[in-house]
Amino acid sequence: MGEQQHVKFPPEVIEEYAALGVDLPALFSAGHLGNRMGVQIVEASADKVVGTMPVEGNTQPYGLLHGGASAVLAETLGSIGSMLHGGVSKIAVGVDLNCTHHRGVRSGLVTGVATPVHRGRSTATYEIVITDEHDKRVCTARLTCMLREVTAKDAANVPDAGTSTAAGA
């Protein structure tokens, strides 16, 4: 669950990170929480991030998709877009997330699509639309991330990153 082997990244982005010794799919994966929830990243660029998540295992006591699960999917996708926008010298840190839940879902797979609303030097904002298997909107979210310079401490926490990540910034 949560393996990122089929993610589509722009070739120039893969090359930029590979030159720094960074495993791009691991860096932009769903993370520990996303992996536990079954989040799969399907496509990733600064212009559009697509991911899926199963409803099963992510429900609240009434059997509906948990709103917090939708928030995890939304923040994961928006953060990946923000990181790709910021490039190798920046790290994205979520500072504001809001979610509007439109309908309940009891089974299947939900798909989230994150697209940029604003991409600046110090912040990036993405709208994330989550739909069910019938293309009905389940949730609309907006995430704003602060973009800050990568530090040596950040680089130490990045999978497969050498010390060149902070130095190459």
Residues designated as active site: 75
User: Residue 141 carries which side chain, given as an amino acid letter?
Assistant: A
Q: Would you list the DSSP string of 46-92?
A: SS-EEEEEESTTSB-TTSSBPHHHHHHHHHHHHHHHHHHHH-TTEEE
Q: How far apart are CA 60 and CA 41, in angstroms?
A: 23
The Cα diameter of the chain in Å comes to 50
Contact 147, 133 (CB under 8 A): no
